[in-house]
Structure 1
Amino acid sequence: MKKDITIPEVKDIHVAVVQEEHIEYKTLDWNAYIINNSDQDLDTVIIVSQGYNDTKMTPPMRHTIAKLPARSYAKIEYLQTKVLALNNTFKITFFEGNTMYDKTYLFRKNTINDKALQSVPLMQLKGVLVK
């Protein structure tokens, strides 16, 4: 029965962690975003994020986005500096039309840093990107 279920490959959907200035607190914060760089709207986007290493694990955080329009992005969550030393996963499930897609994005420990910044599609900002 499981072998009959096919989940197609995810393309043009990315997760980026961007460093942004928090105007109120005057700090530089790391924030995770989902980017829909495709021509299709995404429906019922479910995101489960978690940080871990060999000895520690954060509780899973769950997020839902009802609709993510084509060529747009949405903030997932703020990342505390402490969790950047952990592996951080973002498991994303969504519907495009009647088809379900699923992909896990992994930021390896200590890879979210100033030296790894690159251009992020659609955002006009620099960040760490996983495709």
Structure 2
Amino acid sequence: MKKDIDIPEVKNVHVAVVQEKHLEYKTIDWNAYIINNSDTDLETVLIVSQGKSETKITPPMRHTIAKLPARSYAKIEFLQEKVLELNNTFKVTFFEGNKMFDKTYVFRKNTINEKALQTLPLMQLRGVLVK
């Protein structure tokens, strides 16, 4: 039975954390984004994020994006500084056509930092990327 289930590989969909200036509060914030670097739209994108360590755990945060167009990105959430000390997991499920895709993206503790910034696909910003 299990062998009959087709789980397609997720390609060209990434999660990134970007350091941005918040104009209203005049702070520098870390924000998580989902990037659709494919040629097809993603539908019913469900994201569950959570931070964990050996001694701490954050409550799961749930997000829904009805449609993420091809070659676009969307903000998922703001990340507090204390959460960067944890392993941050983003479980992403979406439909592409009639197929369901699922992938878990993990930012290991303390890997979200200024030294790890790189150029991100589609975005005119630098951030930390998990493919």
Runs of 4+ in structure 1 off by over 3 angstroms are none
* 1:10-41 superposed Cα distances (whole Å, 9 cap, x missing partner): 00000000000000110000000000000000
Partner of 1:114: 114
Counterpart CA distance in 1 for 2:45 and 2:3 is 24
Counterpart CA distance in 2 for 1:101 and 1:7 is 7
Counterpart CA distance in 1 for 2:24 and 2:2 is 50
Identity fraction in percent = 82
TM-score, reference length from structure 2: 0.98
Partner of 2:8: 8
* Structure 1 residues without counterparts, runs of 5 or longer: none
* Structure 2 residues without counterparts, runs of 5 or longer: none
* 1:82-107 superposed Cα distances (whole Å, 9 cap, x missing partner): 00000000000000000000000000
The Cα RMSD (Å) is 0.6
Q: Which amino acid aligns with 2:44?
A: T
Q: Which amino acid aligns with 1:99?
A: K
Partner of 1:35: 35
SS state at 1:9 partner: coil
Partner of 2:44: 44
Deviation at 1:3, TM superposition (A): 3.2
* 1:44-76 superposed Cα distances (whole Å, 9 cap, x missing partner): 000000000001110000000000000000000
Q: Which amino acid aligns with 1:56?
A: K
Partner of 1:71: 71
